[in-house]
Amino acid sequence: MPAIGGVFLRSYENTLVRQTEAELAAQGAALAATAAALWPGAPPPAPAPRPDPEDPYYYRPERPSIDLSAAPILPERPSPAPGAAAPDLAASAAAARLDHIFADTTRSTLAAIVLTDARGRVVRGLGAGGDLSALPEVREALAGRSQTVLRRNGQYRQRSIWELFSRASAVRLHHARPVEVGGRTVGVLLLSRSPRGLFKGLHEDRGKLLLGAGVILVVLFGLAGLVSRGVTRPIEQLSAATRVMAAGRGEPPETPRTAAVEIQALYDDFRAMSDAIDRRSRYLRDFAAALSHEFKTPLAGVRGAIELLQDHYPTMSQAERERFLANIAADNARLSALVGRLLELARADMATPEAGVAAAPAAAARTVAAALSTPVFTVASDLPADLPPVAAPLAMIETVLTVLVENSRQAGAGKVAISGHDRGGSVVLVVADDGPGVPAADAVRLFEPFFTTRRTEGGTGLGLSIARSLARAHGGEVAYVADPDGARFTLSLPTA
């Protein structure tokens, strides 16, 4: 931005110099025409042609020729050289006629005006009687061509520090224009003035500029305070709280009411993430403790049986040996079952929903009913034919229903009924049995890993946990519903 601003200021300063040149050229054209009309011996002026709107070349404005960045800056204009002869009498007479016009023009435009005769001798202005024909701009004008040059301003005195940054402050424009009468050059008008100052206006309006800068600074500080209060400080507080929580201390910070809406949402998301991590940590801690307990019992039995066999094998009877080996085999089978169930639970916890999948729950219920029904244990499927498909794989539905039906069979039920209905956006499958039901004390722990009332019969207590994890992985839920006539479980899944 500073570089762009610097380029803009240079371009604007060059524009001001060209504007000054254009003004000098316009003044010179008007004064040269006036001098030609009032020149002694000049013929009466011919009637001016009427402007032709159809002629695109009728108006011929002079284009500025000065480029501040490229034009050479000549030395200060020297004093006129002593004249070898007296100035032309006609030029002196014309100067006398034009003097009041030049004076009034100088008062209004601040342009210094010098008039020379056809040989470059000054007839009006500073150095009257001297010779300026050696100046390059005067030579060009005597040859009939107007020219503008830049010269150093010997009278320049710096008035403000801003002028140090301006290239045009210490220069002066000199415009030389021929005065032509009857087709020949009879004199030269030499106009000069300093260009419009780029920083002069800035210096004169410094009070307003300082006030504006102060207002801008106040606004910037205000915005910085708002950003700090609404964004920076809340993020720093959240970062500090994150480090404290990572060290195992502290609680999620409260959402600052002065924070930006996006930062408040970030705080809410952080708190939700912290709660989810905390729940998961408690789950893993409890799971690890339960897993350790579940493995410790059969391992202790195996270790005890092995130690007894090692210490008393020669004195044991064959029946005792076989009983201890049978205990080892049973504990080994329980360990194998636990490992297998743990693998199933891990797969269920890491399961992810499949995009675009759809399955008919009625087909899954019929498959489970046909596979698990026996002469002493019947499974009936009674689902409406117009039940919509659900967004879950058929194998997953069959697995969950199998776990629920097996749970009923192991609890002593003789009959299980699978029904279902559309709940608007989801399908609910109900697995109800005629068994003894679930005691109220056990109902709250049904879905805890390793909780089972059939530990002596080889139960692992992981079946319902696996079923719930599979359902939740696909946006569904497995729940227990109290029923005085037996046990009732529901499986809800979103429609496809």
Predicted TM-score (pTM) above 0.85: no
* Six-digit token string for 370: 């046909």
Mean pLDDT for each 10-residue chunk of the chain (496 residues)? 72 85 93 92 78 73 84 90 86 93 93 93 90 93 93 80 72 94 92 80 74 91 82 83 79 79 84 80 66 68 83 84 83 72 62 75 88 88 86 86 86 87 88 84 72 57 77 85 84 89
Are β-strands 73-74 and 147-152 bridged in parallel, bridged antiparallel, or unpaired?
A: parallel
Domain ranges for the chain: 2-47+57-201
Amino acid 400: pLDDT? 86
Please check whether residue 21 is in contact with residue 61, taking contact to mean a CB–CB distance below 8 angstroms: no
Q: E-assigned strands of 153-226?
A: 171-181, 184-193
Return the amino acid letter for 239.
S
Instruction: Estimate to the nearest angstrom the gap between the alpha carbon of 8 and the chain centroid.
Output: 28
Question: What are the strands of the beta sheet with 184-193, ordered from one edge?
Answer: 73-74, 147-152, 171-181, 184-193, 112-117, 122-124
Q: Regarding the domain with residue range 2-47+57-201, which homologous superfamily does it belong to in the CATH classification?
A: PAS domain (3.30.450.20)
Looking at residue 94, its pLDDT comes to: 93
Q: What DSSP assignment string belongs to 9-30?
A: HHHHHHHHHHHHHHHHHHHHHH
Which phi and psi angles does 296 have, rounded to 5°?
Answer: -65, -40
DSSP class of residue 146? -
Return the pLDDT at 231.
81
- pLDDT for residue 65: 86
The owner of tokens 């789950």 is 283
What's the confidence (pLDDT) of residue 340? 66
pLDDT recorded at residue 24 = 93
CA distance 380 to 417: 5
State CA 323 to chain mean position distance. 74
pLDDT of amino acid 180: 93
DSSP single-letter state for residue 416 = E
Find where tokens 């830049």 sit: 150
Strands 426-433, 486-494: pairing is: antiparallel
